[in-house]
Structure 1
C-alpha cells in the first residue's frame, strides 16, 4: 500500500491515467511521484462529491445532501444542475453519467421532481425523455448506467423508509419515457425480501445487490433476504448467486467477479460465494449503508483504477492507494444457472 500526503482531505477521487484527481478540490492532482499538484480552479460553492463519465470527458460535482451541481466538459463549465429541494437533506443526490449504445454521452438525474428520472444529452442539454409522465412515489438515488449503456440502476428508497433497487431498459425508455416511472425490468417474484443497502453493475448482464438486516434462519426462499449479497442476471431472470454475510457491506464498487465493499474499512468480496478475499482494517472509511438517513454519514470517497489493480481511498490526512490481488475479468454469461 502506498500513502499519499494531502494538504486537505480529498472529497472526490478519479483516475486520469496513473494520476489521481480531486475534482471537488478544484482539480488537485497526485502523480506517480506522490506529489500533490495544486488546484487549477476554485468552486464558489461547497460541493462535496463528484461523478465522472466512463470516457473521462464529463464530470459532475455536487452536494451530496443539497440541490446544486455543476456539469463540466474537461475543466470547462457546461451548465448548472439542480434537483428538487423535497427531502434533499436526507438522501443522496441522484446523478450519473454514461454512454448510450449509439455512443452519445448522457447525464441522468432528477432535475424537477425527486421521482422523475430524466436523460439528457451531456453536450447539448437536450432532454431525451421529454413526454407525458406518471411517476410513482420513490426517491431515486445512487444511479448507475450499465457498461454498455443498455440499462439504468437506481438504488433509492421508498417511505417507511426502506431501501430499494430498480433497473430500467434505457433503449425502451428513450422511445417511451413513462417506462422510467414503472416497475422496471426486475420482477417482484423472485425479488428482494431485505432492505437494499447498495447495488452496482458487474457487467452488462449482472448486478450485485447487498441487503441489510439479520440473515434469515430456516427454510430458503427464492428471494434475496436480509443480510445477503446477491447477483441478479438479466438474461437468466433470477438470482444466480446468493450468499449470507455476517458484516455490513456498505458501498459497492464492481471489480470483475469481486466487489469492493466500503464499510468501516475496505473489503474485497467474491460475489459467487460472499467470501472475503482480502481486507484492509487499517484503512478507515465511514460506516455508511443505504442512500438515505437523517443523520448524514458521508459516502466513502474511493476510486478503482480502470485496470482493476489499484484502489484509492481518501483518508483524513492522506490517500491510501491499495494494490489489489490479481483477478480475472468476468466473461459474458449467456444463460447462467439460477441460484437454488
Structure 2
C-alpha cells in the first residue's frame, strides 16, 4: 500500500488515465508517464476552466468551470463544440455533466444546457438532442451526473431548494422514447432515500449504486431512507437497499470512486471502504485532499481531483506539490 509522489510544476485540476499515462484535460493535455516524467501541454485555454470529465472509453473528454456556465467538449485534441448550462444559481453548485456511452454504444453528453432542472442527452459527435420533447420538470438542481457502466441508467446527486442534497436515478433507454421520464423522482423514490443528506454517489456495476450521506437529516419522522453518516448500496433491479451501513466519518465528501465491491471516499484523505459493511479497508492520511461536504453552497473549497486506474490497482490524487500514486491493496 505504498505511496509514490510525482512532482508537478502546478497542481493539475483534472486527471484521467490513458493507458499507463495520466492526462490533465484542464491543463491543456499535460501528461505524466509511468516514470513520472511530465510532457508539456498541447494547448493553453484562455478561459478559466477548473474541472474535467472523461468518458469510460477515453474517446471524449471535457473541460469546464465547476461553478460557472461554460465548458468545451473534446475528441482527443480536437474541440468538438462548446458546452453551456443555465446561469441560474450556477455559482452555487457544481456543473452537471456526464460523458459516456448508451446501451447501443452511442457516445453521449448528459447535461442541463437550457434549464437547471431539465436533463438532456445529446449525441457527442453531432450534438443532436436525443431527448427533445415536452417536459414538466420538478424544482430540483441536478449535479454530479454519472452513467451506469452499461449506459442504461443515469445517477444525479443534486439538491432541492431547502437546500438539501438528494439523489435521483433515471432510465436512459426509456428517456429516448419519453423524455419526460427524466423529470420527477425517476427510479429512486424520495421516500426510500431522503433521510440523511446525500453528498456523493457512484455505480458499483450496471445494477448497484452506492450513496453516501453526511451529517444533515431531513426533519420528517416518516422518512425511512438512508440515515445520516451512512453508506448505502441500492439495487436498481430489486428497487431496494442491499446494504446500509454507518461510516466513521461525519462528512464523506463529494467524490466516490468504485472498485469492485469497494469504494474510495475522500473525507480529507483517500479512504478505501467495503461498500457492504462500511468497514475501512485502508486509508492514506499522508495524502491530504480538500474536504467538500456537498455539491452546493457558497463554500469555494475545490473538489478533490483523483483518478482510479481502470485495472483498479492504482489511485492518482492531485495535490499542491505533486500527484500521489497510491498502490491499492
Q: Tell me the TM-score normalized by structure 2.
A: 0.96
Match of 2:98 among 84, 96, 99: 96
Report the counterpart of residue 196 of structure 1 in structure 2. 198
2:117 corresponds to 1:151: no
Runs of at least 4 residues off by over 2 Å: 187-192
Report the counterpart of residue 81 of structure 2 in structure 1. 79
Deviation at 1:222, TM superposition (A): 4.9
Q: How does 1:33-52 map to 2 (within 5 A)?
A: 33-52=35-54
Distance in 2 of aligned mates of 1:243 and 1:144: 23
1:124-173 deviation digits (Å, cap 9, x = unpaired): 10000000111110000000000001000000001111000000001111
Q: How does 1:1-340 map to 2 (within 5 A)?
A: 1-213=3-215, 222-247=224-249, 248-250=251-253, 251-325=255-329
- Gap runs ≥5 in structure 2: none
User: 8 Å contact 1:313–1:319 — kept in the other structure?
Assistant: yes
User: 8 Å contact 1:215–1:244 — kept in the other structure?
Assistant: no
Deviation at 1:310, TM superposition (A): 0.3
Give me the CA root mean square deviation.
1.6
User: 8 Å contact 1:215–1:228 — kept in the other structure?
Assistant: no
User: 8 Å contact 2:197–2:216 — kept in the other structure?
Assistant: no
Distance in 2 of aligned mates of 1:14 and 1:309: 14
1:174-230 deviation digits (Å, cap 9, x = unpaired): 0000110121001244333111011111111000000111799xx9x8521111110
Distance 1:138 1:215, change over 3 A: closer
- Secondary structure of the corresponding residue to residue 204 of structure 1: coil
Task: Tell me the number of residue pairs that the alignment of Structure 1 and Structure 2 aligns.
Answer: 323
Deviation at 1:20, TM superposition (A): 0.5
1:278-300 deviation digits (Å, cap 9, x = unpaired): 00001000011221011211110
- Secondary structure of the corresponding residue to residue 157 of structure 1: strand
Q: Tell me the TM-score normalized by structure 1.
A: 0.92
